[in-house]
Each structure stands twice: as structure tokens, then as C-alpha cells.
Amino acid sequence: MIRMTEPSKITSQNVPDHQPAAGGIAARARASVGPKYLSGLNPEQREAVETLDGPVLVLAGAGTGKTRVLTTRIAHILSQGRARPAEILSVTFTNKAAREMKHRLGQMLGHAVEGMPWLGTFHSIGGRILRVHAELAQLKSNFTVLDVDDQVRLLKQLLQADNIDDKRWPARMLAGLIDGWKNRGLMPSQVPSGEAAMFANGKGGKLYASYQERLKILNAADFGDLLLENIRIFREHPDILRQYQQRFKYILVDEYQDTNVAQYLWLRLLSQAPSATKAVVPGRVEDANYDAQLRVGQSRDESSALDSGSAPSAHPGMTEQAAIAAAPNAPTKNICCVGDDDQSIYGWRGAEVDNILRFDHDFPGAKVIRLERNYRSTGHILAAASHLIAHNEGRLGKTLRTEDQDGEKVTVTGSWDSEEEARGIGEEIEQIQRRGEKLNEIAILVRASYQMREFEDRFVTLGLPYRVIGGPRFYERAEIRDALAYLRVINSPADDLAFERIVNVPKRGLGDATVQMLHDHARKRRIPLFEAARAVVETDELKPKARGSLREVVAQFDRWRAQREVTAHTDLAQIVLDESGYTEMWQKDRSADAAGRLENLKELVRSMEEFENLQGFLEHISLVMDRDSGADEDAVSLMTLHSAKGLEFDNVFLPGWEEGLFPSQRTLDEQGRAGLEEERRLGHVGLTRARRRAMIYFATNRRIHGTWSTTIPSRFLDELPAANVEITESKGGSAWGGTGGYGASRFDDMEAFGSTYSTPGWQRAQANRNRGGGRTGGGGGGFEEQASSFSSSSSSGPDFGSFSSRRRGPLTIEGELVAKSTGTTSEFSLSDRVFHQKFGYGRVTKIDGNKLTIAFDKAGEKKVVDSFVQRA
DNA sequence: GCTAATGAAGTTTTT
DNA sequence: CTTCATTAGC
């Protein structure tokens, strides 16, 4: 299938892009007949696939077949013989996306794509390039990639060394600043002095510089370095840059709207046609471009001054930059960026929406193709999402269309409080389930993760299977990082951070004092901690107990290193975990998640098999390890709006649409209008996840950090088109807060609840609920449900009259508990010791059919379904 | 050096 | 109301 003959001749750098090469004509001829992979593409998609020459920006709205275009384009390039697999650079943001592309490419081409070596994430590809040229960054090719945790610990040490109060100037904050600078492509010397001075009374810049120095000593790079050091090397060594420019005949970029400045610069460099002509001095020209772009990162106003060519030359090379901007840029190769400005939701993490908004400016002559045919959602959902996003000003503008039916309207439901919201959604889900739909097709998308708890509690009570997506990634978990630290120390005795992490895990009686001592020793002799430990055990500076422990640790590592030569790396890992007592530590642990941690450790050892040796494993672990893909059992998905990007479900619940929560007050305060627009994009992302039903909720009262507060409906609700939205009533009206600061809301008209149960709206809502067949089983009426929970209430509730102040308390909702009951007597008896996956150990205090009330040791009293617990 | 008790703080997070 | 991190005490 893939023609790999005459590959590179056609698009060698000597052939200008606008000259259709022989392959191009052949391609067109063939395309008119239509290779199999092109069939089924709509005209825009097809254009995006077939426009191979020059820069292309594909604006792919939600659900318009973005991934399909990317993969088909690669297949097209390959089958046209335009390039070999190894000559295509294809970058994504996530490993998941990269894997998905590989997978679909394999399907499309009918066989596994052996060798698309340059398909991967920005970071994995950057890391790969950096390993080749590590010495140019004062690193060895086996450098360690530090994660955020290591970074912070390292910075903490630096702060301590500098006698900076890390209460006032937290290491996390500095880590954030440095990360931000790296995202913007700034080396320590390039950080604007004003920003560098922001931290610790002017020491910020200096700390950044010494942090970088420490990294080199530890033979380590952080995530930012993987790209930043690439850029530095490309700038300082044009010959190396040219080598890569020549290698990559085609560049494809996924999710372009999420690129930050560093990623932009990196792409920019690689995408320039190799400068065969000596007229252009690469280093110089590119410097100018960087400076310009870096200024964009600093200040939008300055950059616009730059565009007009009248900028004062605060930076060297500015004048040249102005000239270059006016003239056609350095010839650009075949770069194809796919993205959607309306789905840019990572601005707070350094993503520059401007990158996509300015694409045709940055890549002159770029062809912009819009994909606006949506194949995912129904008409009403699409209309609602489009109408909402149309309120944004800073966008390129797309109009999503569908040929699907209108479907059901988007619903907006107000609840009294967040607890009721969770209950309402739980009931709705049960209804959907009864209709025979899969739980896998249901998602709840929240703005902030603390919203999840309420749903989890509810689902546990209902016995409804759910899965939380997101959260700590696999390699970020403590047990994985500990295990990796052991392996890192074996692999690289100079890895002080890893050594420090595990020297007292499991507990060996080597506390802060001992570690501090080792540090002093190490610094004095300029040796790694591990070697310091080896030396110190020969002296009598330590108490006998600590000395013995430390001696044992050193001996163990020596032994493991020796074994490494003769033992398979997976076996070695197992041996290390066992002999160090690490496995045992978790086996003894009786907390709820110990079993899961042991399982994760097994998974880690299993995953090592994919790599040839320990070295190879460690090189890739931090870059390509993904969260464990949860079991594929049928369950509701619970996640943040951010982690929902790229996913789709038949039924999507969107709770918490209230001012302050969504849009988030903090974003509004910190980012102003830009922040509001990003929040709105988040709403757009949320809505467009839904294929058939989108259900929005807002509550009048929400508990945040333990205290209740009254909220007002989100302004985004008012921005939804009335024609596509249906306002449904929930028990208890809403809109207590009245009008917000931005005008009247139509949700203000919903009946206020007041302080009794007898308002007309409430009664009507109850009637609707019962009539609507919302429940099975007896006794499940909303009123009784409410009543029972009132009577069992206890603690201090929200301070809103007698109703609300008494309605909190344990979740004892008899109606539903009976409804779910199987009738059979539970196999548990009173005061049984039981174990629950989420809540840990507890004692049964009450039994009601298959519903147990359990007093958990740590989590307090909960009602759970008996199938969720096992005998302890 | 370890444990228990106090106190501060508390979005979103692809690598 | 939580969770974490640091701080007293044992």
C-alpha cells in the first residue's frame, strides 16, 4: 500500500513548495479516482487532507472529524510517496492522542505502522531530540526527567540555602513562575527584570538561574526544559537545526490552540525550509523572531507596536524583525496545524490562543480550512453551544452545522442546593438507565473537582457504578514515584532527589537529622548523597541505630546494582520492591487504598516489560506513562470540564452553572475579560461533548469550604438561545439571589422557595416528579424523601430559615433505599467488620435489605449497598 | 525519630 | 468541611 520508493527526492528542499512536484500531480490524478481512505470524507475534510504543500490551518470545530483528517492526511502523504514515515513529524499534546492516532493509522493502512518514530507528544519528541544532543545542554543522554514534585523539592532546598522564608515565598509559587517563563521560551537571562524581581524581593531571577544549574548537576531536566533546551540548541547550532529541518518533510500539529510560546517557537524553527541560501543567517533571523514572539508573551500592546514596524528597539534584532515581518517570511515548509480556537481552555497554563488567531500572519500564504460540519450532536445542542460561544469576541468564527435532527432541547434545571442537584441528577441517571441506555454513555462534567464529592457520595448510596476520570496520573501516585525512585537510584547514583525520597521509605529510622547530615557531607565534598551515605557509615557521626540502617541501605543498593547485570529488569524491580520492604509496607497498611496501591505497583512492573532494559524504561516512564485506563465496565463518568475535552457521550450533565463557580470568580478576577471568554469556551466544550442530551443544572445554595452561600445563576445561562433550551422545574424553586450585576436574568422569575414547603411551585414540582414515573418501588415520593431526611437531620445547615437549617444530615432516604432493595436479606449482620473500596474499614450499624449503614473508621457514617463492601 | 495535635488554606492541570 | 503541612510533645 505505502509506496516508499522515490520518497524524498520529490519534496527535497530544492523544490519550491508552490511548484507541484511530479508526485503532486499524480496525487491529484489518483485522488479524483479516490483512494479508499479518502472516501467518506466531506469536501472540506478532503481539502484538508489533500492540500499538502505549504502551511495549512485546519479550524476543526467540535465533532467535525479532526482526528480523522489528521490521520488520513498522514496516510495520504505516505501513500503518495511524498515522505517516508520517519520524515513526518506529528505532534500531539497527550499520549492518549498520540496513541489514538497511531492506532487509527494502523487501521487505515491495514497494518501496523512500523516506524512513525516522530509521532508523539511535544515533550516526548523534545526529550528524544534532547537526548541526542544532551551534551550541548550540559547533560548526559541518560538524564532524568523531573516531575513537578521533584521540582518543588529542589526549589525548596534552594530557598532554604538562600535563607528565604518559604512561608512567604512558597516553593510552589516559584515553580509556577519558572514554569511560566519556560512556557514562554525564556531562559534565565531573558526573563524581564520586573518579573524576575517579583519573587523574594528580587531574587526570582537568580533562583531560576541556580535552579537550572542544579538541574545540570543532577543530570536532570524538567518538562519545560525538554522544549526550551531544544530551542536553545537549535538557536546556537544552526547546523543541527538544519538537519532536523531537512528530515521533517511534513509537520502535523494537533490541538494547535493549546500551544504555548515555547511550543510555537519550536514548531516555527522546525517548519522553516532548510536555509540553503546563505543570504539568511539562521541564528540571527530566528533570534529576531523569538524576541518578537517573546514580547507577545509579555505584552500584547508592545507586540502590536512591533507589527506596525515602529517599535523602539528595546531588543537587539528588533529592526530586522520589523523588516522580516513586512517581507515574506523565511520559506515555510509543509506544516499543517489542526485546532479550534473555541476549545482553547488552557490559557492559564501558558497556552497562547494568539498562536492560532495569528496563524496566517505567522505563516504567510497559509491556507485556512474550516471544518464546520458536526457529526456528533443534535441540532438543539449544537445551536445552544454555538449561540453561547458567539458571545466571545476573540475568535476566528465558525458556525457548526449538523444534518442531524433537532433532538431534545437542552434542559436547564434549578435546584435549591447542591445536594438536591446531586440527588436530581442521580434520579435522572436511574431513569436513563431504566430506558436501557448504557451508563458508559453518561457523563457529569463539573467545573471544579470539589464538586465531585457530592456526586460520589450520592452514587455510593445509590449503588450506581461510577468512575472518576482525571485526578492524579499513574506516575504521580506516591507508590509509583517511590518505586521509581528506587529504580532511579539504582540506575543513577547521583540522583539525589530520588535517594532522598526513599531513604526513609519504608521507615528505617533515618529522619531529617540524618538527611541533613548527609547533605552537609555531600556539599562539603561535592559528591552525591548516596556516596556521602557510603562515607558516613564508616565514621561514627551517626547514632548506632541510624548508622546500621544506612549501612544496610547502601549495601542493598550495591547488591541490586550488581544484580542488574544478570537479572531481567522486571525481575530486578520485583526484587527491589520486596527486599526493600516497600511491598510489605503497603501490605501492612490497612487503609482503604492500600490494595489499589499494591495493584498499581504490579501494573508498574508489568509495564516495564515493554522496554528493553531499566535505562530505557526510566527514560520513557515520566513522558509516556498514562493514567491506568479504567476497567471497561459500565459506569457513569465523572470528571472536570477540562478533562472532558476530546470525549463525547450521549448524555451529558453540566451541574454548577452559577456565578462564581462557573464562570469561576478567580479566573474573572485574575484574567478579566480574557478569563471570561475562556470560561465560556469551557462551557462550549461541555455542551459539545453531548451527542443527544445536554442537561444543565444550577443550585441556589452551595456549600464551599464548609460554609453555605447563596449563589446566582450563571450569566452563561442567559446567553443560551431560548429556542433551544427548556427550563425544567426542580423541587424547590431557585433564583434566590435575584439579579446579578449584569442585568436581569430570566431565571430570576422562577418562584422563590421561601421557608415553607407549600409554595405552589414546589408542590407542582413534586407532583411532576411523582407523576413522571421518576421512581420505581414504593415510598419513593419526593415529599417523603424530603421528610425523612429532615427528621434525621442533625448538624448546622445553611442559615436560610427553618427549612434549610434542618435539612442536612446523613443521607437517609428511605424511599430510594427501599426502591433499590432486592428483598433478599443481606449476607451481613450487625456489627460486622467490613471493608469498602472508597471508605476503608468500618462496622455495620444498621441493615435494611441490601442497604447497610456503616460507621467507617475514617470516613464517618455512610449508607452503602452491600455489594460495595466485603467482609474485613 | 515518630506520632498526634494544631493551623492554614482551599480552580482548572495534556507533559 | 476537608486536606495538607508543620509543630509540639512523647
Residue-wise over A671-689: b if at least 16 C-beta within 10 A, else e? Answer: beeebbbbbbbbbbbbbbb
Q: How far is the CA of A7 from the C1' of C2 (A)?
A: 61
Asked if strand C comes closer than 7 Å to A860 Cβ, the answer is yes
Name the residue with cell 498514562. A626
- In this prediction, residue A32 has a pLDDT band, given cuts at 50, 70 and 90, of low
Q: How far is the CA of A515 from the C1' of C10 (A)?
A: 22
Nucleotide nearest to A510 (CA to C1'): B1
Q: How far is the CA of A557 from the C1' of B1 (A)?
A: 23
Residue A781 class from Cβ within 10 Å (0-12 exposed, 13-18 middle, 19+ buried)?
middle
- State residue A310's pLDDT score: 30
Higher pLDDT among residues A836 and A701, named by residue: A701
Q: How far is the CA of A181 from the C1' of C7 (A)?
A: 35
Residue A653 class from Cβ within 10 Å (0-12 exposed, 13-18 middle, 19+ buried)?
buried
Cα A546 to Cα A713: distance, rounded to the nearest angstrom: 60
- State residue A186's pLDDT score: 95
- In this prediction, residue A764 has a pLDDT band, given cuts at 50, 70 and 90, of very low
- In this prediction, residue A745 has a pLDDT band, given cuts at 50, 70 and 90, of low
Q: Which amino acid is at A39?
A: S
Instruction: Report phi then psi at A850, rounded to 5.
Output: -95, 10
- State residue A651's pLDDT score: 97
Higher pLDDT among residues A804 and A553, named by residue: A553
Task: Give the rounded distance of the alpha carbon of A187 from its chain centre.
Answer: 25
Summarised one tens digit per residue, pLDDT across range A789-822 is 222 222 222 322 222 222 222 222 222 222 233 3
Nucleotide nearest to A859 (CA to C1'): C2
Of A326, A331, A299, A332, which Cα lies nearest the Cα of A315?
Answer: A299
- State residue A769's pLDDT score: 32
- In this prediction, residue A853 has a pLDDT band, given cuts at 50, 70 and 90, of confident
Report the protein residue whose CA lies nearest the C1' of nucleotide B11: A448
Q: For A379-465+634-729, CATH number?
A: 3.40.50.300
Mean pLDDT, residues A265-277 taken together: 79
Which grid coordinates are listed for A271?
Answer: 517548519
Q: How far is the CA of A254 from the C1' of B15 (A)?
A: 15
Report the protein residue whose CA lies nearest the C1' of nucleotide B2: A509
Higher pLDDT among residues A225 and A33, named by residue: A225
- In this prediction, residue A542 has a pLDDT band, given cuts at 50, 70 and 90, of confident
Residues of each annotated binding site of A for ATP: 60-67
Q: For A44-141+223-274+330-371, CATH number?
A: 3.40.50.300
Residues A520, A189, A293, A340, Cα dihedral to 10°: 10
Mean pLDDT, residues A728-741 taken together: 45
Report the protein residue whose CA lies nearest the C1' of nucleotide B13: A349
Summarised one tens digit per residue, pLDDT across range A110-127 is 765 567 999 999 999 999
Summarised one tens digit per residue, pLDDT across range A327-364 is 334 567 799 999 999 999 999 999 999 999 999 889 98
CB atoms under 10 Å from CB of A110, counted, come to 10
Q: How far apart are the first and last CA of chain A?
A: 59
Nucleotide nearest to A473 (CA to C1'): B13
- DSSP reduced 3-state for A464: coil
Which of strand C's nucleotides are less than 7 A from any protein C-beta?
1-2
Q: Does this chain's domain A44-141+223-274+330-371 share its CATH topology with A474-626? A: no
Of A801, A810, A786, which Cα lies nearest the Cα of A861?
Answer: A810
Of A707, A758, A781, A753, which Cα lies nearest the Cα of A415?
Answer: A753
Asked if strand C comes closer than 7 Å to A435 Cβ, the answer is no
Helix (H) or strand (E) holding A371: strand A367-371
Query: Any idea which of A156-160, A483-487, A550-554, A660-664 has the lowest mean pLDDT?
Result: A156-160
Asked if strand C comes closer than 7 Å to A796 Cβ, the answer is yes
Report the protein residue whose CA lies nearest the C1' of nucleotide C2: A705
Q: For A474-626, CATH number?
A: 1.10.486.10
Residues 6+ apart with CB under 8 A from A717: A412, A657, A696, A698, A745, A747
Hey, which residues of A are catalytic here? 66-67, 254-255, 343, 689
Nucleotide nearest to A170 (CA to C1'): C5
Nucleotide nearest to A223 (CA to C1'): B15
- What residue ranges do the domains of chain A occupy? 44-141+223-274+330-371, 379-465+634-729, 474-626, 832-871
Mean pLDDT, residues A506-533 taken together: 90
Residue A471 pLDDT exceeds 90: no
Summarised one tens digit per residue, pLDDT across range A592-641 is 778 888 888 998 999 899 888 998 899 888 787 766 566 678 999 999 99
Higher pLDDT among residues A826 and A761, named by residue: A826
**Helix A452-462 vs helix A418-434: angle between axes, to the nearest 10 degrees?**
50
Residue A314 pLDDT exceeds 80: no
- State residue A9's pLDDT score: 29
Asked if strand C comes closer than 7 Å to A824 Cβ, the answer is no
Asked if strand C comes closer than 7 Å to A795 Cβ, the answer is yes
Q: How far is the CA of A345 from the C1' of B13 (A)?
A: 11
Annotate A306-359 with DSSP letters as a single string: HHTT-----STTHHHHHHHHHSPPSPB-EEEEEE-GGG---GGGTB-HHHHHTH
Summarised one tens digit per residue, pLDDT across range A684-711 is 999 999 999 999 999 999 988 888 899 9
- State residue A73's pLDDT score: 95
Cα A652 to Cα A273: distance, rounded to the nearest angstrom: 45
Report the protein residue whose CA lies nearest the C1' of nucleotide C3: A705
Nucleotide nearest to A345 (CA to C1'): B12
Residue-wise over A265-300: b if at least 16 C-beta within 10 A, else e? Answer: bbbbbbbbbbbeeeeeebeebbbbbbbbbbbbbbee
- In this prediction, residue A33 has a pLDDT band, given cuts at 50, 70 and 90, of low
Q: What is the mean pLDDT of chain A?
A: 78
CB atoms under 10 Å from CB of A759, counted, come to 16
Which of strand B's nucleotides are less than 7 A from any protein C-beta?
1-3, 9-15
- State residue A112's pLDDT score: 59
Residue A461 class from Cβ within 10 Å (0-12 exposed, 13-18 middle, 19+ buried)?
buried
Residues of each annotated binding site of A: 60-67
Instruction: Report phi then psi at A264, rounded to 5.
Output: -60, -45
Which grid coordinates are listed for A713?
Answer: 445563576
Q: How far is the CA of A548 from the C1' of B15 (A)?
A: 40
Residue A731 pLDDT exceeds 90: no
Helix (H) or strand (E) holding A753: none
Tell me the β-bridge partners of A863. Answer: A853
